[in-house]
Amino acid sequence: MGVRDRLGIHSDPPLAAIPATLEAAGVCVFQTCLRDPRRLSREGIPSEDDQDAFRAAAGAEGTIWGIAHASMLTSLGSTDPRIRNASASALCGDAALAASLGLSGVCFHVGYEKGHPDRASALDAVARKLAQVVERLPNGARVLLENGCEGTELGQTVEEVAAVVRAVGAAPEQVGVVLDTCHLHVAGFDLAAEDGARRLVDAIEASAIADRLVALHLNDARFACGSKRDRHATPGEGTIGAGLLRVMAEPLFAGLPAILEVDAKDASRGLAYLRAG
């Protein structure tokens, strides 16, 4: 993928409108939601008519690439069995629907340490539940771990994400990874530093998850490195700044789709900044 081809945007349903939205933005990569992101219930799941219209429109528009984002309430390692089981069911449902739509997977945040005796126990709980999710996935479906950054969130480092991947033991075709640059930076990995992008590559290779990388969430950050505050900024306008251009220039990331998770007007400026860089 060239720089122009690999950049993308988040676009909410209706699904049928996404191909035209991408064409207007000059991109062919996207992320969407397949249920209300504030719910684990079936609220907001696209109708069958909308699904069929998306398939028809996507075929008519030519090649587009996309993933979905799971509910923000997903917590596979929760100590509350209702939340834990509802999270697993919602994730399985979204992954199956994504596969039927031709999407490349569903990303979800690793979870939270809260309620567990320590971080290792929390990560183990996530891995156990994720292994059950993988067993339920239909052929062609894939789930994607995304790094976190706030409070007791898990997966705040490449190493923690890799630990869950290793514990599950599933194939890359079933369990992949999406790395969010804003999350990494505010969690304490300084991507604004001149050697930040190179050190990120080293961390990924040392953790043996390079073959798991499916996409980047290429977000700048409103707050400082180590702030633990998850507030996305338009690329080039936050505390990472040109560090995002250095990430894009690393060969390891050269073929990865890179999605901007900001609103449409901000995405337009961000795309222009990244393309010019």
Q: Count CB-CB contacts under 10 A for residue 48.
A: 8
Q: Which residues, including other chains, have CB under 8 Å from residue 274's CB and lie 6 or more apart?
A: 3, 7, 218, 235, 236, 244, 245, 248, 258
Cα torsion through 246, 27, 181, 262, rounded to 10? 130
Structure tokens at 53: 């219209």
Residue 103's SS3 state is coil
CB 165 within 8 A of CB 159: no
Question: From CA 18, how far away is CA 264, in angstroms rounded?
Answer: 13
CA-to-CA distance for 105 and 107, rounded, in angstroms? 7
Q: Is the peptide bond before 257 cis (omega within 30 degrees of 0)?
A: no
pTM over 0.85: yes
Structure tokens at 245: 């251009």
The residue among 163, 169, 172 whose CA lies nearest residue 122 is: 163
Could you list the pLDDT tens digit for every one of the 277 residues in the chain?
Answer: 444 589 999 999 999 999 999 999 999 999 999 999 999 999 999 999 999 999 999 876 668 999 999 999 999 999 999 999 999 999 999 999 999 999 999 999 999 999 999 999 999 999 999 999 999 999 999 999 999 999 999 999 999 999 999 999 999 999 999 999 999 999 999 999 999 999 999 999 999 999 999 999 999 999 999 999 999 999 999 999 999 999 999 999 988 999 999 998 999 999 999 999 8
Give the pLDDT of residue 61: 63
Amino acid at 143: V
What pLDDT sits at residue 187? 98
